[in-house]
Amino acid sequence: PGELIAFEESEKFSKDANLDIETSEDEKRRRGRGRSLKKKAMTASTKLTHSLKKRGGRVSDCKYTAISIEDVRDAEEEKAVKAFRQALLAKDQLPSRHDDYYTLLRFLKARKFDLDKTIQMWEDMLNWRNENGVDTIVQDFVYDEYEEVQQCYPHGYHGVDKQGHPVYIERIGKIDVGKLMKVTTVERFLKYHVQGFEKAFLEKFPGCSMAAKKPIDCTTTILDVQGLNWMSFGKVANDLVMRMQKIDGDNYPEVS
């Protein structure tokens, strides 16, 4: 969970992105279970999305507490989360939409359970969300150039791994910076990037949690670097990647 994998592909992804070529009987059975979990996750996510739309699009009301899942917690981590939560409540820094055990735990892990540093990181995150209108970005921001961007920056989710975590793939070696900057801007792409995280927490992670019957709040990320030439990557592309990584690390720690 949360593992970042970089690799060079030896050949193009097949339509189904079947990356595993083992053909033993045990592997076939494991694949069957993986496909079943993938199907359940996709179905659960779709059903959740439809149910949210029927309730007037109030996606922000979705909480893990409304999902029947097996929630096994480490005693020491739970103690740390409780202390962190009480500290935030005392400072009036815990909006109800972020009052979630695993969200608090991710921030603690990002600061190695140092309470003071974690509180500062949390407050910085809340300020960033307020300054950039993140709480309503799913409803407010429309990325009309999505299809064009995909042509010069292939990326997106593809199924789940064996533990039920959604798999996110970026084909960095296929990025055409020149074309990308003709169809979008850095600021719009960053908004789209943030919106993607918000949608994942509102729909994809709850859907995967229902399918896996356990809390899911992080992804397995694959960076396909086949064909990437760092010398010709370009300053614009490098700056874009660096800004995305800072947004991710500061505000969505331990997710990808």
Sign of the CA dihedral with 113 first, then 165, 219, and 45 last: negative
Residue matched to tokens 């309730």: 55
Q: What is the pLDDT along the chain (256 residues), one digit of tens a residue?
A: 444 444 444 344 344 444 443 444 555 454 555 555 555 555 554 444 444 333 333 333 444 445 467 788 999 999 999 999 999 999 999 999 999 999 999 999 999 999 999 999 999 999 999 999 999 999 999 999 999 999 999 999 999 999 999 999 999 888 888 899 999 999 999 999 999 999 999 999 999 999 999 999 999 999 888 887 766 667 888 888 899 999 999 999 999 8
98 Cβ neighbours under 8 A, 6+ residues apart: 126
Q: Domain 143-252 falls in which CATH fold? A: Phosphatidylinositol Transfer Protein Sec14p (3.40.525)
The full DSSP string for 151-171 is: HHS-EEEEEE-TTSPEEEEE-
Task: Write out the two tokens for 173.
Answer: 């070696």
The whole-number pLDDT of residue 122 equals: 98
In the chain, which residue ranges form alpha helices assigned H by DSSP?
A: 25-54, 75-90, 101-110, 115-131, 137-140, 146-152, 177-183, 186-199, 205-212, 235-251
The whole-number pLDDT of residue 156 equals: 94
The whole-number pLDDT of residue 234 equals: 74
For domain 75-132, the CATH class is: mainly alpha
Which sequence spans correspond to the domains of the chain? 75-132, 143-252
Burial 181-190 (b: 16+ CB within 10 A, else e): bebbeeeebb
Rounded Cα gap, residues 7 and 1, in angstroms: 17
Q: What angle do CA 256, 124, 245 make, to 5 degrees?
A: 30
The whole-number pLDDT of residue 32 equals: 55
Name the pTM for this structure: 0.73
The whole-number pLDDT of residue 43 equals: 53
The whole-number pLDDT of residue 54 equals: 38
The whole-number pLDDT of residue 126 equals: 98
